[in-house]
Amino acid sequence: MSRFAANISTLFTAHPFLERFALAARAGFRAVEMQFPYEHKPAELAAAVSRAGVEVVLINMPAGDFAGGERGIACLPDRVDEFHRAVRQAANYAEALGCPRVNCLAGNVPEGAVYEACWDVLVENLRHAADSLAMRNIRLLVEPLNGVDNPRFIIGNMASAVDLLTVTGSPNLALQYDVYHARAAGEDVLAGLARQIGKLGHIQISDYPGRGEPGTGALDFAGLFRALEHLPYDGWVGCEYFAAEPGNFGWMKALQLRP
């Protein structure tokens, strides 16, 4: 049976951030994930987690000016020191929250930059991050973002993400599989899951197109969850779709699932 985590950066967004932990618990979730928790102090977040009685299963590493269009800094040659600081900050937050996974967004290749140079920086930065996080019992994830929505993102599909995993060669680095990004990149979601399942550290869901809740787009979520029942994956499935007031999660009931 799939285990679901509410992404409180995309769900319950009509409410203040620190209230969303309790709202997720009230909806039946035992776990939450977050994109960027860094506007709040670790102690504030930890208190909200404790009051709600939920587990934090994933946070993202600081990703530069995300609102301004940046999608991470790990591949940027002139920001290696900033990336190392981001690793330390993410590790401190993860430890404070008891969170065992940190996802790294790799970044956009700057205009005029040499792709291969950015790739080499990304590999070395991920090796550093994977080693640093391993010493604190935190697993590092890396996630491909589709090249349609993010045309300059350095890893725009699962094939390039698998290449990155191989070249980096760290036992503490795994892939994050977001079914929306896979479908938007033109991939067969079910076949991709089956093919890469042994490399995955986390799965996230939202429908395609639109990034809404399952059932609002064209993805076969009934088939997806049937497949997960037969695949060797015992991790969490993060609900990273956009819903300011997600209601009663009727899509789960329709698929005979529960948080």
pLDDT band, residue 208 (cuts 50/70/90): very high
Does the active-site annotation cover 143? yes
Q: Given 33, 143, 187, 213, which residue is catalytic? A: 143
CATH 3.20.20.150 for the 3-254 domain, yes or no: yes
Half-sphere exposure of 69 (CA within 13 A, CB side): 7
Q: Is it true that the peptide bond before 209 is cis, omega within 30 degrees of 0?
A: yes
For residue 12, pLDDT beyond 90: yes
7 DSSP β-pair partners: 33
Q: Given 33, 55, 213, 240, which residue is catalytic? A: 240
Report the share of the chain in percent with pLDDT over 90.
Answer: 99
CB environment 57-78: b (16+ within 10 A), e (fewer): bbbbbbbbeeeeeebbbbbbee
pLDDT band, residue 71 (cuts 50/70/90): very high
**21 close to 8: Cβ distance less than 8 angstroms:** yes
Residue type, 229: E
Q: State pLDDT tens for residues 235-250.
A: 999 999 999 999 999 9
pTM for the full model? 0.97
Does the active-site annotation cover 116? no
Residue 145 φ/ψ, nearest 5 degrees:
-110, 135
